[in-house]
Amino acid sequence: AQSVTQLGSHVSVSEGALVLLRCNYSSSVPPYLFWYVQYPNQGLQLLLKYTTGATLVKGINGFEAEFKKSETSFHLTKPSAHMSDAAEYFCAVRGAITGANNLFFGTGTRLTVIP
Amino acid sequence: GAGVSQSPSNKVTEKGKDVELRCDPISGHTALYWYRQRLGQGLEFLIYFQGNSAPDKSGLPSDRFSAERTGESVSTLTIQRTQQEDSAVYLCASSKSLYGYTFGSGTRLTVV
């Protein structure tokens, strides 16, 4: 069954500090994994995705994530937090049905950046 | 249009009334998805349309929920006899492929 678990519904970091948002997945097929960001009163925007190939993927706004099959993880990181990074972040995994395009989302992690 | 458009942006309705939410996908996007986001929770998959295939309705929480899509255009999500637990933000997304989800800004539904 497809699912993602995001550890920590709220994460607070100081401006300039490392951002680490955790995501573990369960998938019955080779996973395609995604991170989305949601700013207040807006829809979700794609940050980055892993499908095949290089396990370290880089996204927008300086974020990156590493796919670790042995740990079934896809944690999101950014070396130095900016105030503008404050938002809700969602990890997602694709559906298992061949050809299906639907995504299954985690419950989200709200990132607060402290000045 | 340039993005996914949802209307209304906010809807307040009385318990027991029916509501209809609308989603205008990006032109050319064959796939369309509806998700529900309750306060403090993640996105809950509701329904998925792919081209002319039969929709995947596996996420609809009850028979009070239904959705339609004509071809590759507008979709409507209808909730009959609304209940307070239906209060949530309803998000629509469209895509040409797995990699290109574009979300709308959502409809915030409040059932009083």
Nearest chain A CA: its distance from B98 CA (Å): 5
Residue A111 has pLDDT above 70, yes or no: yes
Question: Which tens digits make up the pLDDT trace of B66-92?
Answer: 999 988 889 999 999 999 999 999 999
Alpha-carbon distance B87 to nearest alpha carbon in chain A (angstroms) = 16
A11 bridge partner residues = A111
pLDDT tens-place string over residues A55-91: 999 999 999 999 999 999 999 999 999 999 999 999 9
* Predicted local confidence at residue A96, as pLDDT: 62
| CA nearest to B73, candidates B58, B57, B52 | B52
Q: Do A43 and B103 touch (CB under 8 A)?
A: yes
Q: Which of B4, B31, B35 sits opposite A101 (nearest CB)?
A: B31
Question: Are A23 and A89 spatial neighbours (Cβ–Cβ below 8 Å)?
Answer: no
Whether residue A102 and residue B33 make contact (CB cut-off 8 A), yes or no, is yes
Indicate the residue of A49, A94, A105 with minimum beta-carbon distance to B42: A105
Mark A32-71 as b/e (b = at least 16 C-beta within 10 Å). bbbbbbbeeeebbbbbbbbeeeeeebebeeebbbebeeee
The DSSP H or E segment spanning B109 is: strand B107-111
Tokens of B58: 């596996």
Structure tokens at A23: 């995501």
Distance from CA of B82 to the nearest CA of A (A): 23
Asked if B89 and B6 count as a contact pair (C-beta separation under 8 A), the reply is no
Nearest alpha carbon to residue B94 among B34, B46, B53, B40: B34
A107 with B42: Cβ contact below 8 A: yes
Provide the percentage of residues in chain A whose pLDDT is more than 90: 67
- Residue in A42, A94, A104 closest to B98 by CB: A94
pLDDT of residue A100: 61
